[in-house]
Amino acid sequence: MTRTPPPVSPYTGEQQTLEASRIVILPIPYEQTTTYLKGCRRGPAALMAASGQMETYDDELDGDVSTLGIHTALPVAEHAPTPEAMVKAVEEAVGRFLQLDKFVVSVGGEHSISFGVVRAFQEKFPGCGVIQLDAHGDLRTTYEGSPHNHACVARRIFEVAPFMHVGLRSCCSEEAELIRREGIAVIPARTFLTRPEVAVEALDRMPDQIFLTIDMDFFDPSEVPGVGTPEPGGARWYDALRFLRELTRRKRVVGFDVMELCPRQGEVISEFFAAKLIYRLLGYIHLEG
Ligand SMILES: [Mn+2]
């Protein structure tokens, strides 16, 4: 079977009104600075199409996430002319929904988007911590001339929020030096996979309110091949769920994003994985509280 990822806005799932919804899914199909495989601008549309095919009843939680009310907003920042304009547009869009006391799930798009998202969450939840799940350091000061390249997003976030990174297995020597010098809380993938309790214990040193940013390349490419820069040795589904369940039990997760989904022609595994991840996380956060 071959299948071309659909264009933006084919939201096939049952749409619920904003007023009736606790949850807002915000598609941000922005892609300007990716450096290897292109296509994450098609991530949100592919994820929405997959989610429309998915059961909303959760067999682990014995609950149905659709009872929360899930509204899919119109895409934002797709055509932002510069990275700075994108960050501003994202911050404003997320901020508008946060002002309405919605639980916002942003879906990208390249990872540089997350800085705009985090700024909006910092405004609404001052001092909230950020946990990044990602294969890459993303700690460069600038990359290819921009401080808002996707390879710099963790550096920007680290500058404005208590920060912790889980799943690292690729960085440059300057990033490794920065991590050592600044004592940045980084749990490498090899530690996360052999001693998962280390990541759970590290949560004690983070604020009670947490924003979670997920780069899909955190996961092992055998389960999530649809990313722009795959790295071997990542977390599998149940490795990730064990941590996420502990996280949502111990902290108040105020929002999350899912970035860098890069759909592949003729294959839908990665977008189904990402859609299921969102539903499961919403369940952990809102059906168990
Ligand atoms: Mn990454």
Q: Which CATH architecture has domain 23-287?
A: 3-Layer(aba) Sandwich (3.40)
- List, as own/partner pairs, every contact residues 96-101 make where C-beta atoms lie below 8 angstroms and the sequence separation is at least 24, other chains included: 97/24, 97/26, 97/73, 98/123, 98/124, 98/255, 99/124, 100/18
Q: Which pLDDT value is given to residue 14?
A: 60
Lowest mean pLDDT among 15-19, 96-100, 269-273: 15-19
How far, in Å, is the centroid of ligand 1 from the Cα of 222? 16
How far, in Å, is the centroid of ligand 1 from the Cα of 280? 22
Whose CA is closest to 63, among 288, 237, 229? Answer: 288
Report the percent of the chain where pLDDT is more than 90. Answer: 88
- Phi, psi angles (nearest 5°) of residue 139: -110, 15
How far, in Å, is the centroid of ligand 1 from the Cα of 151? 8
How far, in Å, is the centroid of ligand 1 from the Cα of 100? 31
How far, in Å, is the centroid of ligand 1 from the Cα of 113? 13
Whose CA is closest to 86, among 158, 28, 152, 9? Answer: 28
Residues 8-44: tens digit of each pLDDT:
344 445 678 999 999 999 999 999 987 777 899 999 9
How far, in Å, is the centroid of ligand 1 from the Cα of 184? 17
Residues 39-79: tens digit of each pLDDT:
999 999 999 999 999 999 999 999 999 999 999 999 999 99
Residues 128-153: tens digit of each pLDDT:
999 999 999 999 999 988 899 888 99
Residues 166-224: tens digit of each pLDDT:
999 999 999 999 999 999 999 999 999 999 999 999 999 999 999 999 999 999 999 99
Axis crossing angle, helix 269-282 with helix 43-51, rounded to the nearest 10: 70
Which of the four pLDDT bands, split at 50, 70 and 90, describes residue 4? very low
Residue 7 confidence (pLDDT) above 90: no
How far, in Å, is the centroid of ligand 1 from the Cα of 220? 12
Report the percent of the chain where pLDDT is more than 70. Answer: 95
- 199, 192 Cβ separation under 8 angstroms: yes
| Cα of 78 vs its chain's centroid, Å | 17
How far, in Å, is the centroid of ligand 1 from the Cα of 215? 5
pTM of the model: 0.94
How far, in Å, is the centroid of ligand 1 from the Cα of 35? 11
73 CB burial (10 A radius; 0-12, 13-18, 19+) = buried
How far, in Å, is the centroid of ligand 1 from the Cα of 226? 12
* Mean pLDDT rounded to a whole number for the chain: 93
